[in-house]
């Protein structure tokens, strides 16, 4: 029998809250509930205030030059520019600590008086205490679900994502609350490079490319190193469906290659491009978007897929820059599907994104189509 642990945790929280509320009685449970509601409300307000504050600070930081700043300040500016999500959490922490202190003082007197308003039988009612406890259990489960939702926005956690995707309570909360209300506040800025950072991309490809006749597009034949070819064949062994192959390669790459912030820093802040080949990306397990796209193209080509390398502008939350990604052609459907392994390594939801949704964050400028009929090395 297969158990869904997300659903089990939700159920345990609700049942435990009912029993705890019945044990405390209505009066004590009511006072406890008020503190819980204040804490949750403080967190919600702090998230909104932290998001607002971090955006103001980020605008200021991005306008500052690190060259003319003191060394310590320059390091802070660079760290914030590289990791805006960390800055957002710092701002959230500051807002939460401030709001928690203010609200605690305001509410404490009111909370102490709550039981005094009630007749003794009402204060001691276990039935009403259990009902209130159950309602709080639902609210606590929603908060736990929100933490899971936030974790899946920032981390690649396939086991947790699978459990959440099959949990009916979580899916309901996600559709009704998390997606429309929480996601706009916690959506992270996904990595993109600065203007012009992809210019050396063609130098890193071991291929022959010829114009297709369409503006900005080339078709080429790709020479894939044996190590990459063997890996691609191993990952897709026994598979015949092109989409299944494409997803297997995507899942492997997003879990085995991490974003190279040092390379990003070298280029953006020091004007140095650390050139590397797909084989070096495989061996080091690190790279920026160009390296992700090139390695995926090698893997896909070795697996017999028709793959495309796209270059253009991409970004979220108003932060846009140069970016590279892939597309894979599905002969049976007569269409291309989108694959962004760079963003997938940070947020595992960038395989076969509907083109209308994908175009909201990606603007293609050039493309190289890899001929699937050419053998690897």
CATH code of the domain containing 212: 3.10.620.30
Domain boundary among 186, 216, 232: 186
Domain boundary among 122, 155, 186: 186
In a domain? residue 172: yes
Q: Are residues 71 and 179 in the same domain?
A: yes
Count of structural domains within the chain: 2
In a domain? residue 233: yes
Q: Are residues 219 and 327 in the same domain?
A: yes
Domain boundary among 160, 186, 212: 186
In a domain? residue 270: yes
Q: Are residues 89 and 64 in the same domain?
A: yes
Q: Are residues 24 and 164 in the same domain?
A: yes
CB 128 within 8 A of CB 18: no
Q: What is the pLDDT of residue 36?
A: 73
Task: Please give the residue range of the domain that contains residue 270.
Answer: 199-370
Closest CA to 151 of 348, 303, 340: 348
In a domain? residue 163: yes
In a domain? residue 249: yes
Which two tokens mark 327? 């597309």
Q: From the CB of residue 216, how many other CB atoms can be counted at a distance below 10 Å? A: 13
Q: Are residues 65 and 94 in the same domain?
A: yes
Q: Are residues 252 and 161 in the same domain?
A: no
Q: Are residues 287 and 315 in the same domain?
A: yes
Which residue stretches of the chain are H helix? 5-62, 71-82, 84-113, 120-123, 126-154, 158-165, 168-173, 183-186, 226-235, 242-256, 261-270, 278-284, 289-302, 341-344, 355-358
Which two tokens mark 229? 């070819």
Q: Are residues 176 and 204 in the same domain?
A: no
Which two tokens mark 137? 């259990």
Q: Are residues 141 and 217 in the same domain?
A: no
Q: Are residues 163 and 206 in the same domain?
A: no
In a domain? residue 191: no
In a domain? residue 170: yes
Q: Are residues 157 and 285 in the same domain?
A: no
Q: Are residues 262 and 135 in the same domain?
A: no
Q: What is the pLDDT of residue 152?
A: 79
Which two tokens mark 66? 């690190």
In a domain? residue 116: yes
Q: What is the pLDDT of residue 279?
A: 92
Q: What is the pLDDT of residue 199?
A: 47
Low-confidence stretches of the chain (pLDDT < 70) are: 1-2, 47, 50-51, 54-55, 57-69, 73-89, 91-92, 100, 103-118, 153-156, 184-221, 268-271, 316-319, 373-377
């Amino acid at each position: 029998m297969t158990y869904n642990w997300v659903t089990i945790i939700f159920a345990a929280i609700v049942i435990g809250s009912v029993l705890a509320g019945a044990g405390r009685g209505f009066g004590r449970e009511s006072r406890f509930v008020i503190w819980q509601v204040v804490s949750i409300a403080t967190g919600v307000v702090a998230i909104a205030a932290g998001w607002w504050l971090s955006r103001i600070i980020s605008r200021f930081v991005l306008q500052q030059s690190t060259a003319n700043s003191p060394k310590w300040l320059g390091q802070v500016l660079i760290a914030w520019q590289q990791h805006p999500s960390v800055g957002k959490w710092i701002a959230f922490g500051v807002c939460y600590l401030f709001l928690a202190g203010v609200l605690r003082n305001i509410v404490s007197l009111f909370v102490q008086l709550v039981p005094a308003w009630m007749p003794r039988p009402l204060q001691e009612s276990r039935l009403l205490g259990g009902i209130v406890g159950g309602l709080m259990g639902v609210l606590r489960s929603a908060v736990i679900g929100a933490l899971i939702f936030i974790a899946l926005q920032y981390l690649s956690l396939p086991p947790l994502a699978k459990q959440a995707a099959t949990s009916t309570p979580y899916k309901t909360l996600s559709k009704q609350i998390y997606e429309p209300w929480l996601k706009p506040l916690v959506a992270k800025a996904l990595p993109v490079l600065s203007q012009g950072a992809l210019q050396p991309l063609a130098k890193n490809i071991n291929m022959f490319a010829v114009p297709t006749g369409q503006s900005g597009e080339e078709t080429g034949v790709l020479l894939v190193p044996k190590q990459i070819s063997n890996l691609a064949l191993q990952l897709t062994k026994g598979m015949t469906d092109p989409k299944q192959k494409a997803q297997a390669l995507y899942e492997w790459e997003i879990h085995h290659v991490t974003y190279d912030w040092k390379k990003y820093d070298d280029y953006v802040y020091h004007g140095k491009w650390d050139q590397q080949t797909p084989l070096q990306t495989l061996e080091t397990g690190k790279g920026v978007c160009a390296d992700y796209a090139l390695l995926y193209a090698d893997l896909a080509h070795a697996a017999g897929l028709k793959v495309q390398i796209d270059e253009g502008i991409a970004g979220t939350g108003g932060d846009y820059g140069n970016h590279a990604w892939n597309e894979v052609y599905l002969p049976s459907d007569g269409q291309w599907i989108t694959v962004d392994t760079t963003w997938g390594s940070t947020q595992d939801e960038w395989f076969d994104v509907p083109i209308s949704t994908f175009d909201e964050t990606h603007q293609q400028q050039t493309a190289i189509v890899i001929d699937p009929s050419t053998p690897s090395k």
